[in-house]
Amino acid sequence: MWFFLVVIVLFALGAGPEPQLLARIAPGVVWVAALLASLLAMDRLFRDDARDGALEQLMLLPTPLPVVVIAKVTAHWVATGLPLVVLSPLAALLMGLNGHAALTLMLTLLLGTPTLSFLGALGAALTAGLRRGGILLSLIILPLAIPLLIFSTAAVDAAMMQLPVGGFFAIAGAFLTGSVTLLPFATAAALRISIQ
């Protein structure tokens, strides 16, 4: 959360006193800051559990492993993604966005940050057994997050130009639905592989 705020404030200060420039770069800056902030916390999602043996104990529970993955990702999102959504009106204010664009930014973050958490969980599961998997995690996750980044920033751009944004929300919702339904199973399989 602090990383997100620091990046937004530094961009607002570094871009100078031109409100048009700030508003133009705002969607990309906010979304890149959100992506990097979620990656910072993602590195240790499963690593500590893999090191101390808790992951093996979770696999022995009668609860299916994908349900455990959903619970961990939900907890991660509440700790990292939800604060970004709550702080997005402040970020929009700092970047000079109008009210409609600020609301669109908040809604895209509300739809997009859970998707980032599920994508990050897959990368964290693949790198859980590695000692320094942070760079590999970034290399796995960043290409997968690019379509979400493109459509979310395009939604805010469209809102700034008073164009319809429903299609962008539908695409972000499709990303979220796909990640919630498919990625827990892929993450559970990756965890089983990384433990062996």
**pLDDT the model gives residue 5:** 82
**What is the rounded distance in angstroms from the CA atom of residue 105 to the CA atom of residue 156?**
6
Q: Is residue 88 within 8 Å of residue 109, measured between CB atoms?
A: yes
Most confident among 56-60, 138-142, 181-185 (mean pLDDT): 181-185
User: Three-class SS string for 65-117?
Assistant: HHHHHHHHHHHHHHHHHHHHHHHHHHHHHHCCCCHHHHHHHHHHHHHHHHHHH
**pLDDT the model gives residue 182:** 96
What total of structural domains would you count in the chain?
Answer: 1
Mean pLDDT over each residue of the chain, to the nearest integer: 89
CA distances from 112 to 57, 143, 181 (A): 31, 15, 15
Q: Give the domain range for residue 127.
A: 2-195
**pLDDT the model gives residue 70:** 96
Model pLDDT for residues 7-37, shown as the tens digit of each residue: 888 877 887 777 788 888 889 999 999 998 8
